[in-house]
Structure 1
Amino acid sequence: MHVAEKGEGPVVLLLHGFPELWYSWRHQILSLAARGYRAVAPDLRGYGDTEAPADVGAYSIFHIVGDLVALIESLGQDQVFVVGHDWGAIIAWNLCAFRPEKVKALVNLSVAFFPRKRALWRIDTLRALYGDDFYICRFQSIIYTASKIHVLIQEAGEVEAEFGQIDTAFLLKSFLTSRNPGPFYIPKEKGLSGRVGLEIPLPAWLSEADVNYFASKFDKTGFAGPINYYRNINRNWELTAPWADVQINVPAKFIAGDLDLAYRCGGMEEYIHNGEFKKDVPFLEEVVIMEGVGHFITQEKAQEVSDHIYDFIRKF
């Protein structure tokens, strides 16, 4: 596992999402280190300079959370602060469900807790809501080929094969600059290739150098590992059945942008604000919704996010 870290003091574990890297926390790492914390940001399994197993099954929620428990122990810590965004937030919620004693306090961004009773985080539910071209549904497809002994072996996923035909920097710009709070689609007929050749202007918070750093790592490892997280959604549903009624019993803060698809889709906005979220996360102390802000909030509102993290964790 590749880890970027800076500073001395209480450990703050920073968990990135898709399609990102430790680098998504570059601003928070500097801010937290300057304020007396040890910021630790890994490339998660399958990303960047961390190993990427070929087996789809190696990306279950138990594997990913297990990586983090081992990382915490390798840092010589019994407890750490945890901050997650996107898939990092999903992983952080599960870390708190499985091993709450490891988490001193939690700040999660963009993706709220998925209580099992809502049955949202299942492929059949997502397909019924948004159709086959919804990006998570598209990520499920795998191309198989017959070997010489007539055993089906995985060769490549349809989407990563498609991604391989597109310039990686252009592809990442398409994701990172998206401002549509509605569902993100990758139409099977034309995928993202229909946008190839279009100029994608970068916002002030994202430079060409930033995009090139992300692209250099995805060029090396590809997208199969990151997409395999999505291919384990149904398996994770089965594996986590014993936690059907779990509550997240650690102090928590939640932050999202009001233009974030993860905030707007699947009834999550209502869930967050109607009191259900607080019931499932009893020690939820604050919900912050930033106006005019999209999904990649750690970069778009770097200073504000850093301040929110610090203002919360300094109480513990």
Structure 2
Amino acid sequence: MEGINHRRLEVNGIAMHIAEKGEGGPVVLMLHGFPELWYSWRHQIIGLAAKGYHAVAPDLRGYGDTDTPSAISSYSIFHLVGDIVALINVLGQEQVFVVGHDWGALVAWHLCLFRPDKVKALVNLSVAYRPRNPTATLVDYFRALYGEEYYVCRFQEPGAVEAQFASANTRQLCKYFLKFCDPGGLFIPKEGLVFPNDESSLPAWLSEEDLNYLTNKFEKTGFTGGLNYYRCLITGNFWPLGLEHR
């Protein structure tokens, strides 16, 4: 795609796939969310490179062409931040600009908490500030607010949602997630999501080529890697957003 280069780098004990364009300029590191890939940043990669930046977008741990460790505990915030610190080092950089979306924003925020020396500036999208509650996990918070069928709560049981997703058409599943815009939140009934044969037209920002790319990748990898991020929310291996951590 318009001169975007791809390679796999050894970082923090895994092989990480990155997409990049531009050489010699300041590095802008872009971190995707769930269920996405480096591909979410394809337009920004080209635009930033045209402005003289070295634009880099990895597939995060458990996604796409990056390794997917089997243990749930391998997806703690310490592992996720460790991957990015190692990537910055492998790229030969002391500091980088960081842009995050969704889970990528959480990783970027914690990178600033743990290793502020690595970040020149931070831009985060789609994660609202929430003061830390030292007596309850994020899962407890969402369960009390929305109930057991809220997606974060439903993602907690290993294998359960994977089985439901496996029985669905991956293309329809990807289309559903990408088009989802209900402000009431995403709920997944115990019997699973029911997908009608959605033949509606795609929004202007999503092409058939885009949907095909994501579908092909998730058909190969499944969704377990991304779901394991949520499963680490319930442990002490995740620090919720909060200014008191600064």
Tell me, yes or no, whether TM beats 0.5: yes
With over 3 angstroms needed to count, the CA separation of the structure-2 counterparts of 1:112 and 1:119, relative to structure 1, is farther
The equivalences for 1:11-26 within 5 A come to 11-26=27-42
The equivalences for 1:138-177 within 5 A come to 138-142=154-158, 157-177=159-179
- Pairwise CA distance, 1:116: 1.4
Aligned length: 229
Match of 2:91 among 75, 90, 102: 75
Percent identity of equivalent pairs: 62
- Pairwise CA distance, 1:120: 7.7
Code of the aligned partner of 2:190: K
User: Does the CA-based 8 Å contact 1:86-1:110 persist in structure 2?
Assistant: yes
With over 3 angstroms needed to count, the CA separation of the structure-2 counterparts of 1:45 and 1:28, relative to structure 1, is same
- Pairwise CA distance, 1:90: 0.6
With over 3 angstroms needed to count, the CA separation of the structure-2 counterparts of 1:85 and 1:173, relative to structure 1, is same
1:205 aligns with 2:205: yes
Code of the aligned partner of 2:145: L
Report SS of the residue matched to 2:244.
coil
Greater C-alpha Rg: 1
Which runs of 5 or more structure 1 residues have no equivalent in the other structure?
Answer: 143-156, 248-316
Report SS of the residue matched to 1:245.
helix
- Pairwise CA distance, 1:124: 1.1
The equivalences for 1:202-281 within 5 A come to 202-235=202-235, 237=236, 240=239, 245-247=244-246
1:105 aligns with 2:107: no
Separation (CA, whole Å) in 2 of partners of 1:39 and 1:85: 15
Separation (CA, whole Å) in 1 of partners of 2:215 and 2:45: 21
Which runs of 5 or more structure 2 residues have no equivalent in the other structure?
Answer: 1-15
Equivalent in the alignment of 2:183: 181
1:31 aligns with 2:47: yes
- Pairwise CA distance, 1:199: 2.8
Alpha-carbon RMSD: 1.8
- Pairwise CA distance, 1:220: 0.9
Report SS of the residue matched to 2:245.
coil
Code of the aligned partner of 2:155: F
With over 3 angstroms needed to count, the CA separation of the structure-2 counterparts of 1:246 and 1:91, relative to structure 1, is same
Match of 2:56 among 36, 40, 50: 40
Equivalent in the alignment of 1:267: none
With over 3 angstroms needed to count, the CA separation of the structure-2 counterparts of 1:108 and 1:15, relative to structure 1, is same
User: Does the CA-based 8 Å contact 2:168-2:195 persist in structure 1?
Assistant: no
Separation (CA, whole Å) in 2 of partners of 1:119 and 1:44: 30
With over 3 angstroms needed to count, the CA separation of the structure-2 counterparts of 1:121 and 1:80, relative to structure 1, is farther
